[in-house]
Amino acid sequence: MTLVEIFSKEECHLCDDARAVINKVQQDIPFRLREFKLMPGDPYYEEYREWFPVVHINKALAFKYRVNENMFKIKLQQVAGDARNPNAEPDEPSIGSR
């Protein structure tokens, strides 16, 4: 099953918007969702601080700043048959997989 990861931070209206789009799409297209709320001092906060929210699909960077609903659906459909990592279930967040 496809894995979607959202990297967000506190008090981020773009993160709230992205989460709403992702949750809406998840009602029609099944995928696993993991969210990581990064805080100042977290190892990857500095790396993503200018990009929040950051969304990965199967460990690959898919979106930063905003998640467009139609593009999100297209990307999910594209990876649905992707054999390179069909069982993406990382033990760690997929930071660095760009």
The CB-side HSE value for 30 (13 A sphere, CA atoms) comes to: 1
CATH classification for the domain delimited by 3-80, as one of 3.40.50.720, 1.10.3720.10, 3.40.30.10, 3.30.70.20: 3.40.30.10
Share of the chain above pLDDT 90, in %: 79
Every domain of the chain and the residues it spans: 3-80
What CA–CA distance (Å, rounded) separates 12 from 31? 24
36 burial (CB, 10 Å; 0-12 / 13-18 / 19+) is: middle
pTM for this prediction:
0.81
Which residues have C-beta within 8 Å of that of residue 57, sequence separation ≥ 6?
2, 3, 4, 75, 76, 79
Q: Model confidence at 62, in pLDDT bands (50, 70, 90)?
A: very high
